Structure 1
Amino acid sequence: MDLAARHRDLLLGEFGTIRRQAEAALSLFDEGATIPFVARYRKERTGGLTETQLKEILDRRDFFAKIEARKATVLKSIAEQGKLAPDLEREIAECRDPQRLEDLYLPFKPKRRTRAQIAREKGYEPLADLLRAHRPASGDADAMAGARDILAERIAEHAPTREWIREHTAKHGLLRSKKKRGAEGDVSKFELYLDFSEPVPRLVAHRILAIWRGEREGVLSVGIETDAAPILAQLDRTFNRTGSPHRILWQETERDSYERLLAPSIETEVRSRLWERAEEEAIRVFAANLRNLLLAPPVRGEAILGVDPGIRTGCKVAVIDRTGRFIENTVIYPDKVDALRPLMSRHGVGKIALGNGTGSREIEPLLRALGVTAVVVSEAGASVYSASDAAVREFLELDITVRGAISIARRLQDPLAELVKIDPKAIGVGQYQHDVDQEKLKRELDHVVESCVNAVGVDANTASVELLSYVSGISRPVAENLVARRPFRGREELRSVPRLGPKAFEQAAGFLRIPGGANPLDASAVHPESYCVVERIAKRLGRAPASLVGAEIAVKPEEFVDDKVGLPTVRDILEELRKPGRDPRKEFVAAKFDPAITQFDHVKAGMVLEGTVTNVTDFGAFVDVGVHQDGLVHVSELADRFVRDPNQVVRAGQVVRVKVLSVDAARRRIGLSMKQAPR
């Protein structure tokens, strides 16, 4: 079996009971299918695998592709040295653990000139072989020292030994951090870790991330401590022999190998494993928060007045109509807020979106007095968008501050459509987002955006290039061509878009909606390839296909299954006909901030407040209660039960009631509880 075939076999072997489904999914991905398309329109072939399962299959495929590429390099290197024994070749070929692979390669890996290498050059390897066989041997001091160096390196490169010590250290090690000697500047943000220790298995992601950052910034000194006694005992059981004439020499060599070679490299590997685990958790938390923000409830069918707050320079105001189109802008000062009434009346403004920047809390009660619901929205990333090429193209003639006000209004009206225009990393819902691997982070966040966009669907005639470029099968150049070619009267016209070929049409058509066209199905999630099923259903009922859209249909889905269309697809079609173009996002609800609590100094322990969750981490949730400083609901205060994952209890954008537990004025921290707040 060649490496490629073995790679696929090892990969599929991981999926056990869903092996056949995983194999079908891989085949679809090989054909150019996307996760949203496979999850929505190829359920028969995959047995209904979810997007999460499909993402796992893709991730594992990429993982195995990398490890197989590394195997090829390792095998080539060892073969060129003439040392590739059949057993070693088989062990490498079957390996699926990157660390294990590196352990197997270590004895053959080109390395700098070590003490052992110098000893070999002096001809001391035969003596080392005699000592390894526990046979009588002797030599001068230099020869014996050189032989010991060779043996110490062999011990350190013994793959099973490295694996045992690594697992032992990961299980029993103690991570310790302390203030680094000579550390300068503000160390207060690392106060918890200036004299900190915790068993390695109990370390949680946010602590690992904080400690590693403190080390990078030169504030903390970090290390992993391990009791050497059980490790040395294991080495002695492995390499020494009862009655050996060199028993003491072996014990000294084992200690030297561990202290000089094994301990430093194993600590590095365990720390690397800890970092990977923390990084994975940080990216997962960021992705979950981003998903919740993107799928936040929109304000449907209302004109919105966006306000970018400012005290000294005035508030920049912009009005958008119910479709998000910019209408008018102005500047007002806090003492002239009433001047907005004619503007709001003229354009039928239904809600006010107020950016949460400086001055927002002072302006908010004045806006509420206008008799229209005012909602505070996050400005995170708004300045990035305002200066972007996309904003300049759309509003070339407008000042950058006006673009910001428009973006604030659109964030309330349709968070998904507006936030996709911004680099997800600029939205500010991540945990140590700048510390993690940026390529991994981007890949995960792009997947989240793609998933959300396709779950909601996109109006092909009104969506921005940025939104269209996340549609299944649509690249940015194709998205630009779509915008240049529209308006479209039906999905079939999409085929005329340059560079949107048959495969791209297949992947995209079901997610691109065309409301008001000749065929009502074009505004639904029914894929054009399944229109024939709708026609068969209509024929059975003696009705026109268009009359089925939005109607309750009393048919048995099993009656329309054939060799091309399976039961899951028929059921999806019937559900979509009942609720065409349904939006998975919830109805909009705004937090009601206490009008008397507008500053940090107003917050007192015991108060019960309403607020909006702004960020969820693995240690709790941050909540905006309207005072320019988010409070923290620790994970232990989220619910009356043990909470392993805060994302299972709260989500970014959710409106919650909280009780104030503590107020730390010096550090500007507010401790909150959800479980103690009256229901």
Structure 2
Amino acid sequence: MNENYIAKIAGELKIQGRQVAATARLLAEGATVPFIARYRKEATGTLDEVAITSIRDRMLSLVELDQRREAIVKSLEERNLLTDELKSAITKAETLTALEDIYQPYRPKRRTRAIIAKEQGLEPLADTIFNGQATVDPLAEAKPFVDAAKGVESVEKALAGARDIIAERVSDDAIARSKLRELYWSKALVRSKVMTDKQEAGAKFKDYFDWSEPVSNIPSHRMLAIRRGEEETFLMMRITPPEEDALFLLEPLFVKAPGKLAGEQVRLAVQDSYKRLLGSAIEVELRIESKARADREAIRVFADNLRELLLASPLGQKNMLAIDPGFRTGCKVVCLDRQGKLLHHDVVYPSQSDSRIREAADAIRSMVQKFQIEAIAIGNGTAGRETETFVRTLKLPASLPIVMVNESGASIYSASEAAREEFPNEDLTVRGSVSIGRRLMDPLAELVKLDPKSIGVGQYQHDVDQRALKNSLDDVVMSCVNGVGVELNTASKQLLGYVSGLNSTLAANIVAHRNENGPFKSRSELLKVPRLGPKAYEQAAGFLRIRDGENPLDASAVHPESYPILDRMTKDLNCSVQDLLKGLTAPPKNPATKIRDGNRRFANSHRHSQRAGQARP
């Protein structure tokens, strides 16, 4: 474990080094974020999921930084360019940007104007002009370098080649790059203009046909919109500061004798460097970094919206009538039992002829009565409001809730492998209606069957970094699933796949074992599942629930490794496990005293178990 990483992360997150070290050790051992947050609080000092995730991500970024550092050192060694001073600077670089700035002068380059000038033997002239700005006569110094055979036909060509060499040095200078980068972030404007003759075709981007805004505070949605317009060739975007500000910053760094002939040559080289090399290089950096910033903000909003949707209050197990609305093709209606099993499906047409409207009304009333419907879910897509209005005119029982449900992604689910596996003989529209009904029953259990990106709760989701988006959304889904807990004997393999310590293969094996051997009677039976070993069991067991199992604790969030503590408590208090799970609401004797004593004994035994490496419930 890298001690430098620990100290650095502890300082950045303003937490103790031991907390970072403990978290890093658990992560390295294969523990998941939800498991560490819930069952290893004693080790981490009660760090929450946000802090643990930050430690995990920062560890990865520092590893990537060191890997790049090693690659640069290896490249320099292979070309015999590594000096002690350079190696020291590389070792001290704390960011990837600083590291790349140090490496810039030594980076293998294509055949630039400066390289051509060096091949013509003009590097000594460039050195003389740069180092003797106050005293050197450039014209006199350039004459000896005129050589038609080398392509230097005149003094002016010699000076131009020398300026090319100086310009590249300016562009490669780490201090110049750093200062100019700061200027760009503080003063650069994002400017967008419409491409020639694209006004009509690109009308959806008309707000950005002539737009400018500081890059430092442009909102993520605007940056992503402009970039999309540029990607679709309707807009042209630039990120630049005032040119005079950039030159005012750069020239004093290199021009040591303003007004002198040699100093003037250096000034021309600096201007050329900014306009031809350095300015565009920093602009590219800003384009990349501003896109990354916009991505992070867009992904954060997406993740927050997804969490809110996944954790929406479930209606619970109800006999459900679900409707996927439609005008021309009619409304697809399904009836589900309290476990979400499909009982019946039909198509009704409540927005066409009077006879069809009457038929639709009779059909829905009949289904409500026949299947003892307890709730109605209506998709919020096309014709959703009209369908809701129609259903509300049917004079159904006042106690029957009618709820509009977000149907985003239902069509994607209906064509998915999961839907085909569950309903191999049903039409796509039937599968979509089933999904709508189940979303009302239990949003989390149903929505985990979808790729989170298809749920439609974020902007510009196809424009952001897809790997970062997937990682963030997967973290959110895993957090929600494990925060709520999963009923082991009824959960789908898609839901089980998000449980801490499990994956799609283990989830499928659990479902197969359940189908072959019947419901699990205890958490410990998980160890009989093929390929589910002790480590996966440790990570997953606390998040899996067994209702009416052999051990009442299997229905709780108490981890099996803490069962012995609860057993000792029940003996000390002379009560049952059920009493403990109910908060000791009805202990046999002197309740208040026994609860206080029991809590005290539990705390003491828990601290002792933690020291022995056990987990907290």
Report the residue type matching 2:186 in the other structure.
K
What is the match of residue 27 of structure 1?
Answer: 25
TM-score by length of 1: 0.81
- Equivalent of residue 266 in structure 1, options 282, 285, 291: 282
Q: After superposition, where does 1:124-163 map in structure 2 within 5 Å?
A: 124-134=122-132, 136=136, 138-139=141-142, 140-163=155-178
Q: How far 1:358 moved relative to its partner? A: 2.1
Whichever of the two has the greater Rg, that structure is 2
Report the residue type matching 2:439 in the other structure.
R
**SS, match of residue 17 in structure 1:** coil
Does 2:473 align with 1:473?
no
| Alpha-carbon distance in structure 2 between the residues aligned to 1:25 and 1:267 | 38
| Alpha-carbon distance in structure 2 between the residues aligned to 1:142 and 1:249 | 13
Q: After superposition, where does 1:155-554 map in structure 2 within 5 Å?
A: 155-183=170-198, 185-242=200-257, 246-334=262-350, 335=357, 336-368=360-392, 369=394, 370-371=396-397, 372-486=400-514, 487-552=519-584, 554=595
Q: After superposition, where does 1:611-630 map in structure 2 within 5 Å?
A: none
| Alpha-carbon distance in structure 2 between the residues aligned to 1:356 and 1:15 | 43
Q: Are the counterparts in 1 of residues 561 and 615 from structure 2 also a CA contact under 8 Å?
A: no
Cα 1:424–1:64 shift into 2, 3 Å: same
Q: How far 1:391 moved relative to its partner? A: 0.7
CA deviation map 1:99-124 (0-9, x unaligned): 22211111111111000000111111
- Equivalent of residue 555 in structure 1, options 596, 603, 607: 596
| Alpha-carbon distance in structure 1 between the residues aligned to 2:228 and 2:345 | 44
With 492-501 and 76-85 compared, the bigger mean Cα shift is at 76-85
Q: How far 1:5 moved relative to its partner? A: 6.0
Report the residue type matching 1:512 in the other structure.
L
CA deviation map 1:16-59 (0-9, x unaligned): 43322111101000000000000000000000111011111111
Length, aligned pairs only: 570
| Alpha-carbon distance in structure 2 between the residues aligned to 1:322 and 1:185 | 53
| Alpha-carbon distance in structure 2 between the residues aligned to 1:544 and 1:31 | 36
CA deviation map 1:44-75 (0-9, x unaligned): 00001110111111111111122211111111
What is the match of residue 621 of structure 1?
Answer: none
Q: How far 1:11 moved relative to its partner? A: 4.3
Q: How far 1:397 moved relative to its partner? A: 1.7
| Alpha-carbon distance in structure 1 between the residues aligned to 2:85 and 2:282 | 26
The structure whose residues are more often strand, as a share, is 1
| Alpha-carbon distance in structure 2 between the residues aligned to 1:558 and 1:254 | 74
| Alpha-carbon distance in structure 2 between the residues aligned to 1:209 and 1:386 | 30
Cα 1:464–1:261 shift into 2, 3 Å: same
With 499-508 and 320-329 compared, the bigger mean Cα shift is at 320-329
Q: Are the counterparts in 2 of residues 64 and 96 from structure 1 also a CA contact under 8 Å?
A: no
Q: How far 1:287 moved relative to its partner? A: 0.7
With 208-217 and 23-32 compared, the bigger mean Cα shift is at 208-217
Q: After superposition, where does 1:81-100 map in structure 2 within 5 Å?
A: 81-100=79-98
Q: How far 1:549 moved relative to its partner? A: 2.1
| Alpha-carbon distance in structure 2 between the residues aligned to 1:404 and 1:181 | 45
Report the residue type matching 1:401 in the other structure.
T
With 287-296 and 133-142 compared, the bigger mean Cα shift is at 133-142
Q: How far 1:572 moved relative to its partner? A: 7.3
| Alpha-carbon distance in structure 2 between the residues aligned to 1:543 and 1:272 | 63
| Alpha-carbon distance in structure 1 between the residues aligned to 2:23 and 2:614 | 20
Q: How far 1:96 moved relative to its partner? A: 2.6
Q: Are the counterparts in 1 of residues 562 and 615 from structure 2 also a CA contact under 8 Å?
A: no
- Equivalent of residue 51 in structure 2, options 37, 50, 53: 53
Q: How far 1:88 moved relative to its partner? A: 2.0
Q: Are the counterparts in 2 of residues 165 and 266 from structure 1 also a CA contact under 8 Å?
A: yes
**SS, match of residue 429 in structure 1:** coil
Report the residue type matching 1:390 in the other structure.
A
CA deviation map 1:475-524 (0-9, x unaligned): 11100110011110011111111111000000000001010111111011
TM-score by length of 2: 0.89
| Alpha-carbon distance in structure 1 between the residues aligned to 2:74 and 2:4 | 17
**SS, match of residue 555 in structure 1:** helix
| Alpha-carbon distance in structure 2 between the residues aligned to 1:326 and 1:154 | 72
CA deviation map 1:316-339 (0-9, x unaligned): 211122222222222223212232
**SS, match of residue 61 in structure 1:** helix
Instruction: Give ranges in structure 2 of 5+ residues lacking alignment.
Output: 143-154, 351-356, 586-594
**SS, match of residue 40 in structure 1:** helix
| Alpha-carbon distance in structure 1 between the residues aligned to 2:92 and 2:50 | 27
The structure whose residues are more often helix, as a share, is 2
Q: Are the counterparts in 2 of residues 15 and 22 from structure 1 also a CA contact under 8 Å?
A: no
| Alpha-carbon distance in structure 2 between the residues aligned to 1:481 and 1:295 | 27
What is the match of residue 590 of structure 1?
Answer: none
CA deviation map 1:358-412 (0-9, x unaligned): 2222221221232322111122111111111111111112222111111110011
Q: Are the counterparts in 2 of residues 7 and 68 from structure 1 also a CA contact under 8 Å?
A: no
Q: Are the counterparts in 2 of residues 152 and 253 from structure 1 also a CA contact under 8 Å?
A: yes
Report the residue type matching 1:41 in the other structure.
Y
Q: How far 1:445 moved relative to its partner? A: 0.6
Q: Are the counterparts in 1 of residues 609 and 615 from structure 2 also a CA contact under 8 Å?
A: no
CA RMSD of aligned residues (A): 2.1
**SS, match of residue 310 in structure 1:** coil
**SS, match of residue 212 in structure 2:** strand
